[in-house]
Structure 1
Amino acid sequence: MFPPHRQGPLDGQFQSALPEGDTAIRQTDSDAILARYSAVQKGYLSDPFVRPLLPRGGHLQHPRPPLINIGTYVRSEAIDKLVDQWLDLASAEGKQSQIVSLGAGSDTRFWRIASSPRARQLAKYVEIDFAENTSRKAMAIRKSKDLGSLLGKAEDVKIVNGGTGLHSPVYHLLPADLRLPPSEAMKVLTESSASGADVVLSPDLPTLLVFECVLVYMTPDASYALVQWFTDYFVSSDAVLGAVVYEMFGLDDAFGKVMLNNLKARNVTLPGAEPYPNVESLPTRFEKHGFTISQARTLRDIRRSFIGSDELERISDLELLDEIEELELVLEHYAITWGFKLYGKANATHWSTWGLKAEE
């Protein structure tokens, strides 16, 4: 079964301090980072920053099956394309972007961007997760030269909130429980950074929200309130607010019920999946908030139509896959949804080009 990747880690160390079920949800991030490490080992992906963020002993784990590696690859490629396009579109207007990764866990995207030619296109990169998770990541950053060196000068990197947060000129790691009312949870974005100069999140820059298997673990009311908070935050600007969601959906068929039962056995529930019985329903998540454009594609569709033939041929040579039907069935229950909302004088024609493009 394709693992329920959430970007928000940790093993059971903090179980007694959290509500029942949180430890199981956080454990799915260990699944995610180990799956990514497996895909890197097998040559599907290139990511020199994944190893410092592995759970203890993670580098000794056996590689995942081809089905997992391919699913991880498709997810990563699609989201990377959307993020890169977003940065390029903002740059074409002479602007830097902000990226806010919610439930970020062990994600490595900041470091991959910071070590690439697009580094200068980032004004802020913010990661938010449980305090237990951010403290673990802050510790990993301090221990790793590869991670720490891309944050800037040592004197400009500040550990805050008793080790649960980190501020640097561009990268910010912040603790918050996303299930709380946004007026409380999102205070971390409206407070000053360690330098005291500006609030962490500017209301005037193009801003992209990234939710990788996060909202599906929240109630629909909680996720609606969270997205609405961001929608309201930019209302007085000429900015553009974008969002990318990766999650499972359509779990009321036979395959979905098996998936749900397997998750329940791990003490994991998916209340956020209930409003989305099919791929056509996924764009309504953003349409409810008045987004200008909202689209969704299943990972099955993305693999078939949005990854180039040369690249598909390359990954097909990496491992023998004799479970094509099972792969397609799994990928059909995961999707990526993206959308954006324009404010003020933002250029609709310019931003309407953002999205996955079909490849030949």
Structure 2
Amino acid sequence: MEPPCTFHHCDEAVIATNDDASDCKRCAVRLGYWKDDYIGYFVRNQDRKAPEINRGYFARVKGVEMCIEKFLKKTDGNCQIINLGCGFDTLYFRLKDTPHQVKNFIELDFPTVTARKCYTIKRNKALLAKIHDEDGEVRLSTTDLHGPSYHLMGVDLRNLDELDNKLQQAEIDYKLPTIFLAECVLVYIEAQNCKNLLKWISSKFITAVFVNYEQVHSYLSKDICRRYM
């Protein structure tokens, strides 16, 4: 039997996947696969990636965007988005440049990740300007950031009591239609903890949609892109 996963020998490796994913997105954006004016604030690396990687991330980003756009149109923006394991994702900032707005946007990840994201946002006026408006203020701590409609918080998704407390701080409305995003997140959570998380979500939220993107075993596939992604 394998030993239980501890922060030091498992979670640090999971946290590192954020840097790799962000580097890949930065490369694809720089090559024109999609437009993202904000990824450059979080990622300076300009290493080139294999074409299959660029195409895979294009499909990933656009697929999630399509799901979100349909949800926002269906709810007319009177909804919430909760990004589980958000990493350096720039979705909130990109949405601010579109007609599609959302009542509450919440991003969650390990405190180590959110601390870096908070620091980057704090030191770049272009990012802060998207969060702050004339009627609201931005509250910052080392790992958490709270704006009028945007909340970035450090939390361990395996700790449901902590998760509930963080969502309360973000002025969550369990009755409001909510879409959850999980991109390559659940695969890194132990099966029982993952089951508990999904069960908790289904019991707390009256109307919820869950968008999940995960890796699958495709070693036998002749499709090179599928083997990479």
Q: Structure 2 length as normaliser, TM-score?
A: 0.90
**Partners of 2:191 and 2:7 in 1: CA distance:** 21
2:113 aligned to 129, 133, 152, which one? 133
Report 1:210-229 matches (<5 A): 210-229=181-200
Match of 2:124 in 1: 144
Does structure 1 conserve the Cα–Cα contact (< 8 Å) formed by 2:156 and 2:162? no
Does structure 2 conserve the Cα–Cα contact (< 8 Å) formed by 1:176 and 1:186? no
**Partners of 1:41 and 1:232 in 2: CA distance:** 42
2:79 aligned to 78, 97, 114, which one? 97
**Partners of 1:100 and 1:201 in 2: CA distance:** 10
**Partners of 1:325 and 1:104 in 2: CA distance:** 28
How far residue 234 of structure 1 moved from its aligned partner, in angstroms, is 2.4
Computed over aligned residues only, the root mean square deviation of the Cα atoms, in angstroms, reads: 2.1
Please say if 1:157 is aligned against 2:138.
yes
Amino acid at match of 1:102: L
Report 1:12-31 matches (<5 A): 18-31=7-20
Amino acid at match of 1:204: K
Secondary structure in 1 aligned to 2:131? coil
Amino acid at match of 2:113: N
Secondary structure in 2 aligned to 1:127? strand
**Partners of 1:329 and 1:21 in 2: CA distance:** 24
Please say if 1:77 is aligned against 2:62.
yes
Secondary structure in 2 aligned to 1:100? strand
Post-superposition CA distance 1:275-300 (Å, at most 9, x none): xxxxxxxxxxxxxxxxxxxxxxxxx9
Secondary structure in 1 aligned to 2:112? helix
Percent sequence identity over aligned pairs: 28
Please say if 1:179 is aligned against 2:158.
yes
Structure 1, gaps ≥5 residues long: 1-16, 194-199, 257-299, 301-323, 332-360
Amino acid at match of 1:221: Q
Report 1:1-360 matches (<5 A): 18-54=7-43, 57-58=44-45, 61-91=46-76, 96-119=78-101, 122-153=102-133, 156-160=137-141, 163-180=142-159, 182-191=160-169, 193=170, 200-235=171-206, 240-249=207-216, 251=217, 255=219, 325-330=223-228
How far residue 18 of structure 1 moved from its aligned partner, in angstroms, is 4.0
How far residue 28 of structure 1 moved from its aligned partner, in angstroms, is 1.1
Post-superposition CA distance 1:120-165 (Å, at most 9, x none): xx000000111111111111001112211100238600113xx110
Higher alpha-carbon Rg: 1
**Partners of 1:38 and 1:148 in 2: CA distance:** 24
**Partners of 1:151 and 1:97 in 2: CA distance:** 17
